Structure 1
Amino acid sequence: MDPGGSCVPDDPDVKLMMGGSTLRKVKSRSWKKQRNFRLLEDGLTIWYKSRWAGKGHSTFSVTDLEAVREGHQSEVLLSIAEEFPAELCFTLVFHGRQGNLDLVAESPKEAQAWINGVRKLIHKAQTMDEQERLDQWVRDWFQKADKNKDGKMNFKEVKTLLKMMNVDMNEEHALKLFTTADKSESGTLEIEQFVHFYKILTQRDEVWKVFQDYSGDGEMLTLEELESFLTLEQQEGEQSSHHAQELIQRYEPSETAKKQSAMSLDGFQMYLCSQEGSIFKPEHLELQQDMSQPLSHYFISSSHNTYLLEDQLRGQSSLEAYIQALKRGCRCVEVDCWDGSDGEPVVYHGHTFTSKILFKDVISTLRDYAFKVSDFPVIVSLENHCGVEQQTVMANHLKQILGDMLLTAPLNGQVPQQLPSPQELRGKILLKAKKIGGLEERLNETLTDEVSDEDEAADGDADIPNIEDPPTEKNKNAEASRELSDLVVYCKSVHFHGFEHARSNSKCYEMSSFSESKVKKFTKDAGAEFVRHNSRHLSRTYPSGLRTDSSNYNPQDMWNVGCQIVALNFQTAGLEMDLNDGLFRQNGCCGYVLKPGFLRDANSQFNPENPKEQPGYKQLRLSIQVISGQQLPKVNQKERSIADPLVRVEIYGVPQDQAKEETSYITNNGFNPVWNETLNFVVHTPELALVRFVVEDYDKASRNDFLGQFTLPFTCIQTGYRHIHLLSKDGTPIPPSSLFVNISISSAETGPSD
């Protein structure tokens, strides 16, 4: 890819961005400061600094951006709407958990140029192929390191740059390659020459060896040779001949080779690094499951305290938190409602220092963002602390703002014998809350007798310990507004009185919430019964009130017994959210994943504590040869140190499947470490297992630093030689960081050893 703005050559918007603009950066109603912004020559870096000389500057890459919002589409810009009209305002939205950048231009024309220009550049960055992406990554580093901006680098500067890129290499070898790349013999490399230098530096022996195993002449893979690689190594079976031809067309850079239906080493490496060469079966990334079964047959991506961006004691409540959760495929959001001082209900974590947002604004945000990434239903889990009056206000907001999106009556007017399917509920928002009476009849009594204090705690999220409700609160809340109650259709919250009671009395549209400790107790005491209950009823689980830091429980324990709505703090990065992202990465990231057959069967005997009793039980052996790593990220860009990486593979599933194995660490090489170590596992319930690959920087004195991870369901693994494209702590891609592995799955004979 050419450097400079040539990525969108004569575009007037991009030209204006390169010329630079003075934009106001807005952080709050009172913090609005002018900054000079411009797009650098590489066409991908946006640079800005304060107008005062001598102050430092900041940069970010277009590849860090997810979208541009036009007008007053953030809380900050809404708060200054009177001062700055919508046509001057726009918001740059970053991937992951990085905060947005709210900006105000000096004229509508300038705002429009930035909005259109950034959108074009984002589109360009998203449509780059693997090779262009890698080239761009190398160019970005070059730009960062070229301090005097003369577009040249001598050997000393290149050595420093390599260290920044996590490369520690033999100086003699580096100098030899530097001289080869320095075609003009000037003692410096220009950007094109540096890209060439980088390519010869990163030639991968381990890929070359695999290529040599199948190539007759060591130069090319013929169509037949590529087919036999796909059949024998990649286990592709029947489809390999047609697929081989497709791969050559798609990844072979040389036209001559294409004409001969052959693949060069370059093409082979590009295929292996592509989505098709990745560990995740491409067909499982698409929407490919049966979506016509009852809601209770699916795992549903679910968020807890959705309104929080930080912890639940003094974090900020924010509409942005709802947008972020919905963008991650979340299909069940939580709304904690309290009486507002001016008759408008507010949302926040009661009796804490978290800030408040208006209920009606939350509902407007849901209307705008609920179906952007998935059109399957969204459940609004209402934690209702309001008096009757404001409950009625809530009901009116729900009806007026959501209109037809809100499901207000059973489908086809029938009382259901089983829950409807995600397919039937496409584009609908469902309310989960308490209901007066059932769908069968409309009773006239209020909820006063139905809701005891114990029920309140058992059904909703338990409040933070040692914080008492004011005495008036309970009496005020004991009544329910008929208007709000009537909006509850398929998700009526009820107190759980035991499995037997539920079996003989509960309607399919009644559901209960369980704290993490309750789930653990029921799983231990009555695992198979819990599984059967969850085949017919929805269950929501939530983290303990003691987790004031908004940490998460391991969702796997809940999925093992078929709980569908396993609510996690989406704002808290870490293992638990990695597992959630991993499970829901399949099936088009639509937020719904069909549970395995044994969790959908009303007569199931499955018990996660003892999976061997399951009919058709068969354990599998998973063997992972961890071959090498590529361009692992640095923990700390400023430090001179280079990573000592190790790879750990973790299995999460039924208790018997929980396992971890790791490679040794490689000293001082985060660039192209080679392990060639094999890790072996036996998996008893593959349908429930998730496999997590973690790369860490080994440290003998303190905890290892996290470098990257990737998590996926066992059932989505492609065998053979595969790349694993690593993700950051936030779950966002960090190209070109990857692992190269060889995976085999085989039947494991049951024996005394396991």
Structure 2
Amino acid sequence: MKAGSTFRKVKSRSWKKQRHFRLLDDGLNIWYKSRWAGRGHSTFLVSDVEVVRQGHQSEVLQSIADEYAADLCFTLVFRGRQGNLDLVAETAGEAAAWVQGMRRLILKAKNMDAKERLDRWVCDWFNKADKNKDGRMNFKEVRKLLKMMNVDMNEDHAFYLFTMADKSESSSLEIEEFVLFYKMLTQRDEVWKLFQDYASDGERLSRGELESILRQEQHEGDGSAKLAQELIDHYEPSETGEGPGTTRLVIALMERSQGSMSLDGFQLYLCSREGSVFDGAHRDLYQDMGQPLSHYFLSSSHNTYLLEDQLRGQSSLEAYIQALKRGCRCVEIDCWDGPDGEPVVYHGHTLTTKILFRDVVATISEYAFKASDFPLILSLENHCGVEQQRVMARHLEKILGAALLKAPLGGQLPEQLPSPQAGGPGLTGLDLKGKILMKAKKVSDETLNDEVSDEDETAALDSPSTDQGSADGPPDPSKKKSTSKMSRELSDLVVYCKSVHFHGFQHAQLHSRCHEISSLSESKARKLAKEAGADFVRHNARQLSRIYPSGLRTVSSNYNPQELWNAGCQIVALNFQTAGLEMDLNDGLFNQNAGCGYVLKPVFMRSGDLTFDPETPQERSDYAPRRLSIQVISGQQLPKVNQKEGSIVDPLVRVEIYGVPQDLAKEETSHIQNNGFNPVWNETLNFVVHTPELALVRFVVEDHDTASRNDFVGQFTLPFASMRTGYRHVHLLSKDGTSIPHASLFVNVSISALT
């Protein structure tokens, strides 16, 4: 891999270009260029690659399967929304070597601990700055490095640090001297001050002193003594500095002590997962999964097949793979009659491309339970004639096999929905885990002639005429859409998610059953939430509701899902392909509970006997508002947003609260001029949260601009209930929701009862 290989980069049957690839000496980056590009080249990090697929394992490579054998082909799948890289090697041996090598490098990167990641990151900066590749870095290169690292430092101070690190007095820094320079550059007064407040000798924290910090500042409680020793064992570096991933010179300056922690070890802990603002216990499966399905929020996708907009975008199996790997538990399939008797999936009456229904089902079968074992719902928007509906039913049964739920657990429909983990009351030993549920119309002998789709997302306008009923009564029968015949074979596959039109809360309470589900447009659902919030919450305690975006969102933009979660709506479907605030909120809610795609609703939303209206949360019998205080102390290694040489960000931090209407709030710090490397704010932002059980907290960093809109730098969103108090780091994510290496905020969080 270091010697390099020439591959064909493939984008389609007609686009195949030769590119030369090689692994750089740092083992972190892949370099590649076109033979015609002169000096121009590109690089990507090995850690940006999520997985390597061998053979014809992408739509692009499948399209050229007749030209190139499977053993010549492989696909690099990147994190986030970056497209795949499909490659064809000259020989099978060369392809196998790169597949095996990439997989080893990915695994190694995944298994690195905090010290190893830091060491790799520091070495990467050294290699970027060492332009002439002589293993040394002169002061001119150091100045350029500081600009690359997003810091505008006084030249005299920079030269002072350079001289202090130049132990060999050679007017240049070798790698170990650069490590010392980096250590001095990243000395953090705010961490040092906290350390000094507890370290009696000013040099090290004893186990008892570290325990005091954990108990008094970090509020770790009774487990502080055990945790203190675990942190010392894990984050206090070894004496020799030998072995993979250690920063030799930094470690050589420290003494190993089983009973104490140095400043460097303490800083490593604060920057680790144990020091994160996100409660580590909530990263595991910690919620009760034995409640009825209607008692959970589900991570849900709209137009799942699209990679781009809903007018001209590409339909792709890859979109299903990406959604399912993110823990999505309800995917949508828009089905239309296709050629040769095979149904196709696309956004009807538009220029979006088409993919075969059977290929979609095969992809779902392979990836349905990669990220979560809990039930997956297939939401069918069915526009097919009866013959191709029968084809759909055959594909579903044959491809999904035993995973497809075709009959009620226990043989009969229950009074309440079964649960994700177990079958539910009276269904001991029966389980929905690993099962796929169909959401579609289900008809009786008397109603075979009925609408086959319960929603009309291809309508040009999201007008009242397309809404399905109101809070008070059924829709005008004169406006009923044209009907099509329903296939009995497809209907019989629907068990717990029978699609019905919504005719109002009173009608649903009198006539509907727990296994019936209604789909509502965002405008209709928002109106119901505002005008009859308590009724909506009560309805959703018993039945499932699916919300879908307005037909006017032609660029596949999203609506704010929080408004519908406030009303207890479980399946709030978003366009996963579109990054932004709305997907940040979705990721923030569903990153908890092991990312399984199910989050248990608060207790006051799970009983039809309780009354909760998101418009008036103070009327709850167990109303318990909280005061949230966040001291934004500092930032670390914020990424550049403008890659022009000399461009430095002017960062500010905004904290946003999303929840019931009374909780919506935003507060921000001032901006720091020309420092994205180690800005310090020391500003406190205060909030009152009336319904903490529903609230999400979003940290946003922006590059301040007086002449135009601020540029996005990074964000992190989490449930209020998953926030840890004390001195914590907020590890920032990119717009695509992927990690930004070493970019973080250092905050002090305080939560108290509102008196």
Q: Do they superpose with TM above 0.5? A: yes
What's the CA shift for 1:159? Answer: 0.3
In the other structure, the counterpart of 1:38 is 22
Aligned: 1:113 with 2:97: yes
Offset from partner CA, 1:347-404 (integer Å, 9 cap, x none): 1111111111110111011011111111111101000000001111110111111111
Output the CA distance in 2 between the equivalents of 1:476 and 1:401. Answer: 32
19, 23, 45: which is aligned to 1:61? 45
| Unaligned 5+ runs, structure 1 | 1-16, 438-443, 750-754
- Secondary structure of residue in 2 paired with 1:445: helix
Whichever residue aligns with residue 112 of structure 2, its letter is: M
Alignment of 1:10-29 (within 5 A): 17-29=1-13
Whichever residue aligns with residue 451 of structure 1, its letter is: E
Output the CA distance in 2 between the equivalents of 1:694 and 1:370. Answer: 32
In the other structure, the counterpart of 1:579 is 585
Aligned: 1:183 with 2:183: no
C-alpha spacing 1:475/1:246, structure 2 compared with 1 (3 Å): closer
55, 74, 77: which is aligned to 2:58? 74
Output the CA distance in 2 between the equivalents of 1:237 and 1:85. Answer: 60
In the other structure, the counterpart of 2:460 is 464
In the other structure, the counterpart of 1:240 is 224
Offset from partner CA, 1:488-546 (integer Å, 9 cap, x none): 11100000111111111111100001111111211122111110100010000011111
C-alpha spacing 1:53/1:682, structure 2 compared with 1 (3 Å): closer
Output the CA distance in 2 between the equivalents of 1:447 and 1:189. Answer: 80
Aligned: 1:155 with 2:139: yes
C-alpha spacing 1:145/1:490, structure 2 compared with 1 (3 Å): same
Alignment of 1:118-267 (within 5 A): 118-255=102-239, 259-267=257-265
Output the CA distance in 1 between the equivalents of 2:174 and 2:188. Answer: 24
Aligned: 1:426 with 2:426: no
Output the CA distance in 2 between the equivalents of 1:627 and 1:99. Answer: 37
In the other structure, the counterpart of 1:650 is 656
Output the CA distance in 2 between the equivalents of 1:373 and 1:460. Answer: 30
Alpha-carbon RMSD: 1.7
In the other structure, the counterpart of 1:494 is 500
What's the CA shift for 1:55? Answer: 5.3
Output the CA distance in 2 between the equivalents of 1:547 and 1:598. Answer: 33
Offset from partner CA, 1:276-311 (integer Å, 9 cap, x none): 000011000001111111100000000001011111
Larger CA deviation: 139-148 vs 218-227: 139-148
Output the CA distance in 1 between the equivalents of 2:689 and 2:462. Answer: 43
Alignment of 1:335-734 (within 5 A): 335-423=333-421, 424-437=431-444, 444-448=445-449, 450-451=450-451, 459-461=455-457, 463-465=459-461, 478-734=484-740
C-alpha spacing 1:277/1:445, structure 2 compared with 1 (3 Å): same
C-alpha spacing 1:520/1:113, structure 2 compared with 1 (3 Å): same
Output the CA distance in 1 between the equivalents of 2:272 and 2:219. Answer: 17
How many equivalent residue pairs? 718
What's the CA shift for 1:461? Answer: 3.0
What's the CA shift for 1:260? Answer: 4.7
Output the CA distance in 1 between the equivalents of 2:624 and 2:256. Answer: 44
Whichever residue aligns with residue 555 of structure 2, its letter is: D
Identity among equivalent positions (%) equals: 73
What's the CA shift for 1:446? Answer: 4.2
Output the CA distance in 2 between the equivalents of 1:303 and 1:95. Answer: 18
Larger CA deviation: 641-650 vs 184-193: 184-193
Q: Is the 8 A contact 2:21 2:31 kept in 1?
A: yes
Q: Is the 8 A contact 1:608 1:654 kept in 2?
A: yes
The alignment's TM-score, normalised by the length of structure 2, stands at 0.93
C-alpha spacing 1:624/1:466, structure 2 compared with 1 (3 Å): closer
Q: Is the 8 A contact 1:248 1:258 kept in 2?
A: no
Output the CA distance in 1 between the equivalents of 2:728 and 2:338. Answer: 55
C-alpha spacing 1:390/1:475, structure 2 compared with 1 (3 Å): farther
Q: Is the 8 A contact 1:406 1:428 kept in 2?
A: yes
Offset from partner CA, 1:724-743 (integer Å, 9 cap, x none): 00000000000100000000
C-alpha spacing 1:420/1:466, structure 2 compared with 1 (3 Å): closer
The alignment's TM-score, normalised by the length of structure 1, stands at 0.93
Output the CA distance in 2 between the equivalents of 1:35 and 1:703. Answer: 38
Whichever residue aligns with residue 334 of structure 2, its letter is: D
Output the CA distance in 1 between the equivalents of 2:238 and 2:94. Answer: 43
Q: Is the 8 A contact 1:460 1:513 kept in 2?
A: no
Whichever residue aligns with residue 357 of structure 2, its letter is: F
What's the CA shift for 1:466? Answer: 9.9
- Secondary structure of residue in 1 paired with 2:275: coil
What's the CA shift for 1:148? Answer: 2.5
Output the CA distance in 2 between the equivalents of 1:608 and 1:331. Answer: 25
Output the CA distance in 1 between the equivalents of 2:547 and 2:582. Answer: 14
What's the CA shift for 1:417? Answer: 1.2
- Secondary structure of residue in 2 paired with 1:180: helix
Q: Is the 8 A contact 2:451 2:483 kept in 1?
A: no
| Unaligned 5+ runs, structure 2 | 240-253, 422-430, 467-479
